[in-house]
Chains A and B, each alone.
Chain A
Amino acid sequence: MADLLDLSDVTLLRNDVSRGGGVARNRGLSVVETDYVLFFDADDRLCEAELDSLLADLGESEGFDLCLFKYADSRVARAGGWGQPDWDERFWTMAGLGSEVLCDVPRDARPILAKIANYPWNKIFRTGFLRAHGIGCAESTVHQDIPLHWLSLIAADRMLVSDRICAFHEISAGSNQLHNRKGAERLQVFDVLDPVARTAHAAGEEWSRSLLAFVLGLGDWIRGRLDPAHLDAFDEAERGFLARQAEPWLDEILAADPDLARRISSRAALSLPERDTP
């Protein structure tokens, strides 16, 4: 097999002990010498023909900080389809995107699009952009890609999207994939989310509400796979996060998105501010 592969351009970095994907990606980013970078996982597959077309398209576009592309998910493929799960596709649709081979993402569409699953491998980043903004992955055991995802979408001057499906994401039930982790390490998610929430709040109310909505959905997703022994601790950690990152602005959230405010209030046992109803 080795003689079939040209590895002359490959730099292999190996940590003495496994420290998770976030550490690995950050280490890789620190030595990248190319203008653009795509993080990719060993258990996913590149869709080479579409990626080649996208790269050719990008080569003809003016500079960009970030290009998000579509992916195919093995759960969709096993049901006879090809593409993203509905829960991600709907955010593309809500953002007014979805079937353009390459287009700019308006700034007001980004907070909507940010709520897709926070994968690292469906984006091509300008290396200098990530470095200039100090954007990388969290070095937690799980959910490392949340800062890379949110902070890049917030900071990008020019963001592109493509409907080309350039990656195939394999989900294997029962495997040791991060997707299937059930332990207390899931509670680290709030340590990862706190600085992201502060940046989102500084970026504006739309970003802040978008992140909070994402967190509520992520919380549901984690509860669905967490070992029951950790559920109480997770609930408490989530309440603490919402008290820190949502309660001070609950009045503004209520004014802009009453449903989100009610969900936050219910989840965190927070009292909603009294408001005059029109």
Chain B
Amino acid sequence: MSATDLELASATERLNELRGLYRPRAVPLSEEPLVPGLRFRLDPEAGFEGVWHSPRGRLVSLQARPERPGRWLGLHLELGPLALENVPFLGVVARLAAPRPAAIRMALRSGREDGGFSDQFFQRHLLAQPGEADHLDMISPDRMPDIPATAPWRELVLFFPPTEHLEVSLHDLRIFAP
């Protein structure tokens, strides 16, 4: 198994841990990890209030409301120092639903040695809507010059709409490099 495969397997383990967590009661929204390696990141100036819970067999359901329009509300999945040399495709599948339509953007975040990071957004938005819907998207790291082939750390980030009341349920999420 390659180093890339190992990091993706670790990410899958984190998601499986959340899927098996079953927290039916609401947990206040914060930046505390849901499970190791998976957390929300909240724009501190937005004053987000909300809750999350993890239904049986699903990942996470989120309700969030900003006091004032925020700049970001992200769900961050750690991918470790995911090596992307010679990785032609990095794909993500997601299953999600929301009582009111919500467009979610997804990015691969690559840390830099100087402490900063860069985001490579996937092309398509994830559309959460009342009926559960599946989403599939991919990027081609070896053809994207803005994605460093190596990085000290990476994350997959789901950016939720940060400006108004949000309810969304992420039933499933998987990341793969075939």
Determine which of A57, A70, A96, A99 lies in contact with B169 in the assembled complex, contact meaning CB atoms within 8 Å.
Answer: A99
Q: Closest chain A residue to B96 by CB distance?
A: A99
User: Which of B130, B132, B167 has a CB less than 8 Å from the CB of A165?
Assistant: B132
CA distance A70 to B131 in the complex (A): 9
**Pairwise interchain contact B57-A98, C-beta atoms closer than 8 A:** no
Give the A-binding residues of B (Cβ under 8 A): 24, 55-58, 61, 97-99, 130-134, 167-169
Interface string of A82-110 (1 = CB under 8 A from B): 11100001001100111101000000000
B128 CB, nearest partner CB in chain A, Å: 8
- What's the Cα separation between A53 and B133 when bound, in Å? 19
B131 touches A53 (CB 8 A): no
CA distance A141 to B99 in the complex (A): 37
Chain B positions within 8 Å of A93 at CB level: 99, 130
Contact check, A99 vs B133: say whether CB atoms are below 8 A apart. no
Residues of B within 8 A of A145 (CB): none
B134, A82: Cβ atoms closer than 8 Å: yes
| Bound Cα distance A50, B56 (Å) | 9
Determine the residue in chain A with the shortest Cβ distance to B54.
A101
**A53 contacts which of B57, B97, B168, B169 (Cβ < 8 Å)?**
B57
**Contacts of A83 on B, CB cut-off 8 Å?**
131-133
**Given A98-B97, A99-B167, A163:B132 Cβ within 8 A:** yes
Q: Is the CB of B55 within 8 A of A96?
A: no
A residues in contact with B169, CB < 8 Å: 99, 101, 163
**Contact B56 A98, beta carbon cutoff 8 Å:** no
- Complex interface: chain B residues within 8 A of A165 (CB): 132
CB distance from A87 to the nearest CB of B (A): 12
Quick check: A99 and B98 within 8 Å, CB to CB?
yes
Alpha-carbon distance between A34 and B99 when the two chains are bound, in angstroms: 34
- Closest Cβ neighbor of A57 among chain B residues: B56
* Chain B residue with Cβ nearest A61: B24
- Which B residues are CB-close (under 8 A) to A7? none
In angstroms, Cα B5 to Cα A209, docked, is 59
A residues engaging B (CB < 8 A)?
Answer: 49-50, 53, 56-57, 60, 70, 81-84, 89, 92-93, 96-99, 101, 163, 165
CB distance from B132 to the nearest CB of A (A): 6
Q: Contacts A82-B134, A99-B99, A165-B132 known; A49 to B57 CB distance under 8 Å?
A: yes
* B50 vs chain A, min Cβ distance (A): 15
* Interchain CA distance A101-B132 in the complex, whole Å: 12
Residues of A within 8 Å of B132, CB to CB, are 82-83, 99, 163, 165
A98 interface neighbour in B24, B55, B61, B99, Cβ under 8 Å:
B99
B55 contacts across to A, CB distance below 8 A: 53, 57, 101
Interfacial chain A residues near B58, Cβ < 8 Å = 101
Complex contact B56–A99 (CB within 8 A): no
Chain A residues whose C-beta falls within 8 Å of the C-beta of B97 in the assembled complex: 98-99, 163
> Most chain-A Cβ atoms within 10 A of its Cβ — which of B24, B56, B130, B134?
B130
Chain A residues within an 8 Å CB radius of B98: 99
Contact, CB under 8 Å: B57 / A89: no
If A56-B56, A98-B97 touch, whether A89 touches B130 (CB-CB below 8 Å) is yes
CB distance from B146 to the nearest CB of A (A): 32
* Chain A, residue nearest B128 (CB): A99
With CB as the reference atom, state the residue of chain A lying closest to B55.
A101
- Which residues of B are found within 8 Å of A84, using beta-carbon distances? 131
- How many angstroms from the CA of A53 to the CA of B131 in the assembled complex? 18
Contact A89 B56 (CB under 8 A): no
Which residue of chain B lies nearest to A56 when distances are taken between CB atoms in the complex?
B56
B96 vs chain A, min Cβ distance (A): 9
Residue of B with least CB distance to A90? B130
Knowing that A98-B97, A99-B99, A163-B169 touch, tell me 19 more A-B residue pairs with CB under 8 angstroms. A50-B57, A53-B55, A53-B57, A56-B56, A60-B24, A81-B131, A81-B133, A82-B132, A83-B131, A83-B132, A89-B131, A92-B130, A96-B99, A97-B99, A98-B99, A98-B130, A99-B168, A101-B55, A163-B132
Residue in B99, B131, B133, B168 whose Cβ sees the most chain A Cβ within 10 Å:
B131
Identity of the chain A residue whose Cβ is nearest the Cβ of B132 in the assembled complex: A83
Please give the distance in Å from A178's CB to the nearest CB on chain B. Answer: 25
Nearest to A94 among chain B residues (CB) is B130
Measured CB to CB, the nearest residue on chain B to A92 is B130
Q: Which residues of A contact B57 (CB under 8 A)?
A: 49-50, 53
